[in-house]
Structure 1
Amino acid sequence: MSQHNATLENQVLALAGVAQFTLYAHELATEGRDLPARFERATQAIFCTDPDSAIDVYGDRAGVADGIRYLRVQLSGQRPDAKGAAVARYIGQILKLSGKVLDDEQALGRIRGAIDRARLAELDAVADILDAAYRETISPLKPQIMLQGEPMYLKNEYIQRRIRTQLLAAIRCGVMWRQCGGGFISLFFRRKALLAALE
């Protein structure tokens, strides 16, 4: 997305994507909730590398409905439950990592190469390719995202690959958030405006 496309609507929809895919990763780690539609949404977001607007990354608002729902609660100032608070901490880490990825041309190049390979791969191989891209480019960066969850899911290699794909989609949306002019200051001082744009 072009750097100048910095509307509040694009910013908040990009942020909703970060929230959605982070939430999906958290639910994989804690509940083992692996729904095919969620994986499809993540890969769609990752593969959409040149959108005209944030909504193009999801297809439509329904494609990011879970993130919008989560973000509404956060931006409205409601006290989050334990799950919401955990996801919020991960989101903060992902937004910081997204800035580092955006400034690292080598990492971006490796991720683009992996996306090109994944687009051409059989469906069963897509998660493996995106998982490898995450481990090679994102895992070495700080802060490292250490998901808390149930050992039976965290130690399951299939679930691990699904988690990393969701986190890669979250970081993709975090990069888009920054490209749209998103910043931490706006999260603190423009909550009402962002909430209005979300509606």
Structure 2
Amino acid sequence: MAKNYYEITLALAGICQAAHLVQQLAHQGQCQPEALNVSLRSVIDLNPGSTLAVFGNDEANLRLGLETLMAVLNSQGMGAELTRYTLSLMVLERKLSGNKSALDTLAQRISQLDRQLAHYELGSETITSAMAAIYVDVVSPLGPRIQVTGSPAVLQNPLLQSRVRATLLAGIRAAVLWQQMGGGRFQLMLSRQRLLREAKTILSRLSPAY
């Protein structure tokens, strides 16, 4: 069956967006709030109608991820750190997908977030901490653990630690989606130009960012 590179590129942009947000949080203690909101919300929708629906049904919600994806594929200016986060999320997702018990626990824990979301905002400390706990309890122990580097002062802040872990959970969500759409790590080498073209086409449709 022919692969749908539009869907694959959207999911890959979701991984790259989470990776970039983790980098921003770890170094600066803050990140683009709209992009973070999109990534965190993607965790909650376990039965989306489409790949784009996972990211709020708007290509513009993945602008940061698409730009990051192009930079990673072009090896331009993003450094090894972002590539390492992106690849590490893919490796960890493979460990998760091979563990049915962990997958069942993950789905159960995520479904419980709905009850909390009736009382708390998505970006609240309560929801962020709950997502971080899911990552720490269910995903991270599967290994290899993702080593996040950044400002020591930032990384010692418990609230920011939770934000980073919640964002890594969003990256895992995107990596699961990427595999479901037919993605694979070999594509990053063998279909680089195809993925670049697709990302460039999507970005060309978006209005300029101000």
TM-score (norm 2): 0.85
CA distance in 2, matches of 1:72, 1:34: 19
The answer for the alignment partner of 2:53 in structure 1 is 56
The answer for the alignment partner of 1:100 in structure 2 is 95
CA distance in 1, matches of 2:145, 2:185: 19
CA distance in 2, matches of 1:149, 1:56: 32
**Which AA in structure 1 matches 2:43?**
I
CA distance in 2, matches of 1:186, 1:52: 25
**In structure 2, do the counterparts of structure 1 residues 114 and 6 end up closer, same or farther at CA, with 3 Å as the change threshold?**
farther
The answer for the alignment partner of 1:25 in structure 2 is 22
The answer for the alignment partner of 2:193 in structure 1 is 192
The answer for the alignment partner of 2:166 in structure 1 is 165
CA distance in 2, matches of 1:5, 1:157: 45
Shift of 1:35: 4.7
CA distance in 1, matches of 2:195, 2:49: 20
Shift of 1:51: 2.0
CA distance in 2, matches of 1:191, 1:34: 27
Q: Which has the higher contact order (CA 8 A, sep 6+)?
A: 1
Structure 2 matches for 1:63-78, cutoff 5 A? 63-75=61-73, 77=74
Which of 110, 113, 130 is the matching residue for 1:115? 110
**Which AA in structure 1 matches 2:17?**
Q
**In structure 2, do the counterparts of structure 1 residues 6 and 119 end up closer, same or farther at CA, with 3 Å as the change threshold?**
farther
Q: Percent identity?
A: 30
Shift of 1:117: 1.6
Instruction: Name stretches of at least 5 consecutive residues in structure 2 with no aligned partner.
Output: 202-210
CA deviations 1:141-183 (Å, max 9, x no partner) are 2221010011111110000000011000001000111111111
The answer for the alignment partner of 2:157 in structure 1 is 156
**Which AA in structure 1 matches 2:49?**
D
CA distance in 1, matches of 2:87, 2:31: 24
Quick check: 55-64 or 114-123, which moved more?
114-123
CA distance in 1, matches of 2:88, 2:166: 16
The answer for the alignment partner of 1:135 in structure 2 is 136
CA distance in 2, matches of 1:6, 1:176: 14
**Which AA in structure 2 matches 1:152?**
A
Is the Cα–Cα contact under 8 Å of residues 17 and 39 in structure 2 kept in the other structure?
no
**Which AA in structure 1 matches 2:5?**
L
CA distance in 1, matches of 2:156, 2:63: 29
- CA-based RMSD of the aligned residues comes to 1.7
CA deviations 1:68-107 (Å, max 9, x no partner) are 01112233x3x433x4421111111110111111222211
TM-score (norm 1): 0.90
Shift of 1:36: 3.8
Shift of 1:34: 4.3
CA distance in 1, matches of 2:39, 2:162: 12
The answer for the alignment partner of 2:43 in structure 1 is 46
Is the Cα–Cα contact under 8 Å of residues 94 and 174 in structure 1 kept in the other structure?
yes
